[in-house]
Amino acid sequence: MEIIERRVPTEAELAEKPYARFALTESGISPISHPGMRGGTYLAAGIEHNEKGDPTSGGTMHLKMNEKRFRKLEPLKKRSDLFELSGNPKAPLAFLAWGSTAGVAREAFLLATAQGHDVKLLVPYLLYPIAEQVYAGFFESVKHGLLVELSHQGQLYRMLRMFTDVPKGLKSFCRSGANPFQPAELVARLLELKGLPS
């Protein structure tokens, strides 16, 4: 991936007294001075603040700062390169997995494909913000699928349901504990959803 450095303030921005460390910008990214930069201020505040970094409890500034923070996330939603897609994009069967379950899901995808099933796989490297367009495109053809998570509650499945139209046939397949999923187990569960013998 290309590493993009944070935007540093221009001479004009540094000439403002005091320097606006948290300037409200269109992109949501404020120009950040490095520690020791002449005219700059390096401040990482944990409490709400105005553009200059002064603490504030004002509701109007709090709203503006939150809007600025969330503007920073918008470009991430369009980053389809942060997702791994395998298989026929129009496949009716699907696996979706992330983190430690992704490798097992890749093997299950290969196993199901070798058995002649029309299946696809999505592995997100970005969990939040939810890239709604990426998921909508993936879900469009899905009739039956598994979102595989090694967790007790199936957090990604729940989060996706908050932001996207998850197909009725896509089910959460999650569990906690020390036992990992097995590829054949995932294929068997997927075929069971479709009503086919494994």
What are the residue ranges spanned by the domains of the chain? 1-72, 78-194
pLDDT of residue 157: 97
Fold of 78-194: Rossmann fold (3.40.50)
Q: Residue 76: which of 129, 125, 28, 25 has the closest Cα?
A: 129
DSSP-derived letter for residue 144 is E
pLDDT at 178 over 90: no
pLDDT of residue 3: 86
pLDDT of residue 196: 67
Q: Please give the structure tokens belonging to residue 120.
A: 């696809």
For the four alpha carbons of 83, 26, 5 and 128, in that order, the dihedral sign comes to: negative
State if pTM tops 0.85: no
pLDDT of residue 149: 96
Q: What is the mean pLDDT of residues 172-178?
A: 91
Find the Cα–Cα–Cα–Cα dihedral 175, 179, 182, 187, rounded to 10°: -20
Q: What is the mean pLDDT of residues 31-59?
A: 85
Q: Name the packing angle between helices 183-194 and 102-114 (round to 10°).
A: 60
DSSP string, 86-120: EE-TT-SEEEEE-GGGHHHHHHHHHHHHHTT--EE
pLDDT of residue 93: 98
pLDDT of residue 158: 96
What amino acid occupies position 52? K
The label of the residue with tokens 């998921």 reads 135
Q: How confident is the model at residue 141 (pLDDT cuts 50, 70, 90)?
A: very high
